[in-house]
Structure 1
Amino acid sequence: MKTSQSYTESGYTHGHSAPVLAAHATRSAATSAGYLLPELEPGMSLLDIGCGPGTVTLDLAERVRPGRVVGVDPSLEALEAARDEASRRGDRTTDFMAADVAELPFADASFDVVHAHQVLQHLQDPVGALRGMARVSASLVAVRDVEYRTMSWYPDIPGLDKWLDTYRAIARANAAEPDAGRHLKSWARAAGLEDLQVTASTWCYTDPESVHWWSGSQAARVSGQTFARQAVEIGRSRADVEEMRRAWLDWGASPDAYFAMVHTELLARVPARR
């Protein structure tokens, strides 16, 4: 079991392989931060923690421009992808820098909004992370995390059951919480945050295009070095890994394919500092 409190490559269950970054690059503010968008106004400053390849960060930057926006991530590969995406969009003002949520290098109340999408589920100390986010926020903390136990699919394929059990076991071996969504409210209260607004939303893959993409993306992750290595470390065999990969492809080939998952979203108002 890993002991670092940081959100680092060594403790990040997915890793930052090409399939993972490609999947994250399909995310947008609309699909991943819709609950936050009504709170944003031009001129606000915003910090995006665990920015990955930057697509959500840059969408949020469009909403608050000309406000300052910074995306941070411990992965140099992710940051390179984010800067490439900013260049592609012609964004010359959003900053991307290496930083860890456990040690945010910013002064108190440096940003109006501090946002993290799918980050707390990977941390050993999510309560401490929320305290740090609140420290550097002058107004609002926004977090969204999935709950893996809510994942539902059809057709029923044993290899997908094995995949879900394996992923949750890997996450727990990393001292992380794959079912983070249900904990967000309690974690926020433990961090001293009040004035909480909690909602939920789903991702759902049913149309042929999204099914094909999700199937291929997950099969590539399962067969990738990071997942396969961790699966073996917790006692799965290489044959198990191949069964899981094949299950994703078989699911994606079904005309009846359906997959859904629930995310919890939390907004926390930060009290004005005296």
Structure 2
Amino acid sequence: MNDEVYSHGHHPSVTTAHAARTVASSAAYLEPFLEAGLDVLDIGCGPGSITAGFADLVAPGSVVGVDSSADVVAQASRSYADVANIAFREGNVYDLDVPDESFDVVHAHQLLQHLADPVAALREMRRVVRPGGIVAAREADFGAMTWFPAVGELDEWRELYRTLARANGGEPDAGRRLPGWAAEAGFADVEVSSSNWIYVTVEDRRVHAESWAERVLHSAFAGQTLERGLADQRTLERLAEGWRSWSRADGGVFLMPSLEILARD
């Protein structure tokens, strides 16, 4: 994880969106299996909002959030300093500083799509889960995203994002590949489900569109796209306006599907 290139980066437009995620919105498939006393490892925890939700559900069990970014680990640590059963650490998903069979649940949300070797990451997650425990992962699928009304700039944005993500070694259509990755990592029992984020209210569309417009213009996505010569500044400005135009359209909808796995030996 330390050597990977993160296509989003940690601009406030990214971390603010990530900090709004909750167990209910992003890990509902796992929630029925979380109970008091379990120990949970949350890899790629970002600003820690899902991690903190786990801590509430499994208390007095312990929860550890791991991320490759020292800055985002520091942010999470500050945000949840008053939560007694949570800790945040900088770490590498390929080489976790954790003994074998240390956690009842090992979780990753929207992480594997950014990795050059998601199967190796899943094998490492398998190493640190206890016998009978669960490795849980949820991954979006950019190719399966859809929206209304049709906006040409959003089609361009998606293709640009997919091109950049793959140039960085990731796989933006990770959702559809997730079950196969889990099987390749050696899991004997893989339960597969899916869920969606849907942006349909006026406010949800505004927030989602503004987040992506800001990413297109100011985040690592913008810098990497310009550095690689995949787009120029004028194109990025046009794509950002396309997002804002979509958000203002009557009857607008954006559907973002994800696949989920509960993997066990």
TM category, shorter = over 0.9
1:69 paired with 2:83, answer no
Hey, what does 1:248 align to over in structure 2? 243
1:189 paired with 2:163, answer no
How many equivalent pairs are there? 262
CA distance in structure 2 between the aligned counterparts of 1:207 and 1:180, rounded to whole angstroms = 27
Hey, what does 1:117 align to over in structure 2? 109
One-letter amino acid of the counterpart of residue 172, structure 1: R
CA distance in structure 1 between the aligned counterparts of 2:72 and 2:32, rounded to whole angstroms = 27
Hey, what does 1:203 align to over in structure 2? 197
Q: Percent of counterpart pairs with the same letter?
A: 43
How far is 1:252 from its partner?
1.2
User: Does the 8 Å CA contact 1:70/1:96 hold for their aligned counterparts?
Assistant: yes
Hey, what does 2:138 align to over in structure 1? 144
How far is 1:256 from its partner?
2.0
CA distance in structure 2 between the aligned counterparts of 1:84 and 1:246, rounded to whole angstroms = 34
* SS in structure 1 of the partner of residue 251 of structure 2: coil
1:268 paired with 2:260, answer no
CA distance in structure 2 between the aligned counterparts of 1:227 and 1:180, rounded to whole angstroms = 18
CA RMSD of aligned residues (A): 1.1
CA distance in structure 1 between the aligned counterparts of 2:257 and 2:181, rounded to whole angstroms = 18
Hey, what does 1:83 align to over in structure 2? 77
* SS in structure 2 of the partner of residue 196 of structure 1: strand
How far is 1:235 from its partner?
2.4
User: Does the 8 Å CA contact 1:145/1:181 hold for their aligned counterparts?
Assistant: yes
How far is 1:215 from its partner?
1.0
Structure 1 range deviating more: 75-84 or 259-268: 75-84
Deviations, residues 203-241 of structure 1 (Å, cap 9, x unaligned): 000011111110111111111141112222142111111
Q: After TM superposition, which residue ranges in structure 1, 4 or more long, deviate above 3 angstroms?
A: none
How far is 1:190 from its partner?
0.6
User: Does the 8 Å CA contact 1:46/1:70 hold for their aligned counterparts?
Assistant: yes
TM-score, normalised via structure 1 length: 0.93
CA distance in structure 2 between the aligned counterparts of 1:7 and 1:178, rounded to whole angstroms = 19
Classify 1:29/1:225 alpha carbon distance in 2 versus 1 (closer, same or farther; 3 Å): closer
1:167 paired with 2:151, answer no
One-letter amino acid of the counterpart of residue 124, structure 2: G
CA distance in structure 1 between the aligned counterparts of 2:224 and 2:94, rounded to whole angstroms = 23
* SS in structure 2 of the partner of residue 262 of structure 1: strand
How far is 1:7 from its partner?
4.9
Hey, what does 2:31 align to over in structure 1? 37
CA distance in structure 2 between the aligned counterparts of 1:84 and 1:212, rounded to whole angstroms = 28
CA distance in structure 1 between the aligned counterparts of 2:97 and 2:250, rounded to whole angstroms = 49
1:100 paired with 2:92, answer yes
User: Does the 8 Å CA contact 1:169/1:234 hold for their aligned counterparts?
Assistant: no
1:215 paired with 2:179, answer no
1:258 pairs with one of 244, 253, 256: 253
How far is 1:104 from its partner?
0.5
Hey, what does 1:128 align to over in structure 2? 120
TM-score, normalised via structure 2 length: 0.96
How far is 1:84 from its partner?
2.3
One-letter amino acid of the counterpart of residue 199, structure 2: Y
CA distance in structure 2 between the aligned counterparts of 1:20 and 1:92, rounded to whole angstroms = 27
CA distance in structure 2 between the aligned counterparts of 1:168 and 1:225, rounded to whole angstroms = 16
User: Does the 8 Å CA contact 1:70/1:97 hold for their aligned counterparts?
Assistant: yes
CA distance in structure 2 between the aligned counterparts of 1:155 and 1:134, rounded to whole angstroms = 42
Hey, what does 2:232 align to over in structure 1? 237
Hey, what does 1:53 align to over in structure 2? 47
